[in-house]
Amino acid sequence: MGINKVQYGNTTLIDLTSDTVTADKLMQGYTAHDRTGALITGTATGGGGSVIQDQDGFIVLPPDGGGSPSVGGLVYETGTWTPSEDIVEPTINFTNTHSARPISIVMCDVNGTTMAQYTNAVFMYTGLYDAFGTVVTSGTDYYGRVNFMRYSSGTTLSTGGFNLTSMTGTVTSAVSYFVSSASFKPYIGGSYYWRAGRTYKWIAVWAPTT
């Protein structure tokens, strides 16, 4: 057993007795001392872009987007996308490998300047069935919802959306049309474009696993 308290006269210089770090909470390869004063080596692992704990017990966030931080079972990814050409139905891939679809996606134009006519502004997806394992029903079953904001002209912002009434299919009433475990399609309908050279940021969130 190591030394977990150092006193000089009536002054406590070091006191580890209330520390909570354990090997499974410390990142693999790092060393520290537990509450008994014993030297421990971390066994916790983490993936690229994840929230980690350093050798001093501090939480370290990833420096850029595209990662998959995991806090309390909740996983998310963020990204920035700038299309090289005007496009109606892009497919945006997730950075990491997932076993399920995300339950929520939001993508937004972040340029802060007036948009051209027929330009997409915001895409929002909510997966009700994937989030809660049930449907909202009133004779018709609803598995999710897509909402959007778009410009019909440079000054007129319109809103709308799609009710998703099936899980699979290739039509805009199906969850699978918009999102999979690997990617999402921010389709808003009609001839409305994500514009070349404009910057869009997105965040996708997966259901908690614990």
Portion of the chain with pLDDT greater than 90, in percent: 56
Whole-number pLDDT of residue 55: 56
Identify the CA nearest to 61 among candidates 49, 73, 72, 79.
49
What's the average model confidence in pLDDT over 83-111?
96
Which residues, at least 6 apart from 9, have a Cβ–Cβ distance to it below 8 Å? none
* Whether the predicted pLDDT of 83 surpasses 90: yes
Rounded Cα gap, residues 44 and 53, in angstroms: 9
Stretch 190-206: mean pLDDT: 96
Radius of gyration of the chain (CA): 24
Residue that wins the pLDDT comparison between 47 and 188: 188
Greater confidence, 120 or 28?
A: 120
Mean pLDDT of the chain, nearest integer: 84
Report the distance separating Cα 52 and Cα 86, nearest Å. Answer: 38
Q: Any bridge partners for residue 174, and if so which?
A: 166
Burial code (b: 16+ CB inside 10 Å, e: under 16) for 155-184 equals eeeeeebbebbebeeeeeebbbbbbbeeeb
Q: pTM of the full predicted structure?
A: 0.66
Q: What average pLDDT score do residues 46-58 get? A: 54
